[in-house]
Homo-oligomer: A and B are copies of this chain.
Amino acid sequence: MNRTMLAILKVLEKHPEIILGSREISRQLKLHGVEITERTVRYHLRILDERGLTKVFGKEGRMITHKGKEELSQSLVSEKVGFVISKIETLSYLTNFDFEKMEGDIILNVSFFPEEKLKEALKIMKPVFTSSYIMHDKVVLHRGGEKIGDIVIPHGQVGFGTVCSVTINGIFLKAGIPVTSKFGGVLQIENSEPSRFTALISYEGSSLDPLEIFIKSRMTDVMGATKNHNGKILASFREIPVVSLEKVKELSAVMKGKGIGGILLIGNPNQPLLEIPVATDKSGMVIVGGLNPIAALEESGILTISKAMSTLCRFSDLIKFKELL
- Residues on A lying within 8 angstroms of B by beta carbon are 74-78, 80-81, 183, 185, 188, 196-202, 204-208, 213, 216-218, 272, 274-277
Given contacts A199-B207, A202-B205, contact A77 B217 (CB under 8 A): no
Q: Is the CB of B196 within 8 A of A77?
A: yes
Q: Is the CB of A74 within 8 A of B198?
A: yes
Contact of A275 among B77, B205, B277 (CB under 8 A): B77
Report the bound CA distance from A75 to B195 in whole Å: 10
The A interface, classified by DSSP as helix, strand, loop or mixed, is: mixed
Please, which residues of chain B bring their CB within 8 A of the CB of A205?
183, 201-202, 204-206
Q: Is the CB of B78 within 8 A of A276?
A: yes
Report the bound CA distance from A78 to B276 in whole Å: 5
Q: Is the CB of A77 within 8 A of B200?
A: yes
Report A234 CB to chain B, min CB distance, Å.
14
Q: Is the CB of A206 within 8 A of B200?
A: yes
Given contacts A213-B213, A217-B213, contact A77 B202 (CB under 8 A): no
Please, which residues of chain B bring their CB within 8 A of the CB of A196?
74-77
Report the bound CA distance from A275 to B78 in whole Å: 6
Report A68 CB to chain B, min CB distance, Å.
16
Please, which residues of chain B bring their CB within 8 A of the CB of A78?
197, 200, 272, 274-277
Report the bound CA distance from A213 to B186 in whole Å: 13
Please, which residues of chain B bring their CB within 8 A of the CB of A81?
183, 200, 202, 276
Given contacts A207-B200, A216-B218, contact A76 B275 (CB under 8 A): yes
Q: Is the CB of B207 within 8 A of A80?
A: no
Please, which residues of chain B bring their CB within 8 A of the CB of A188?
74
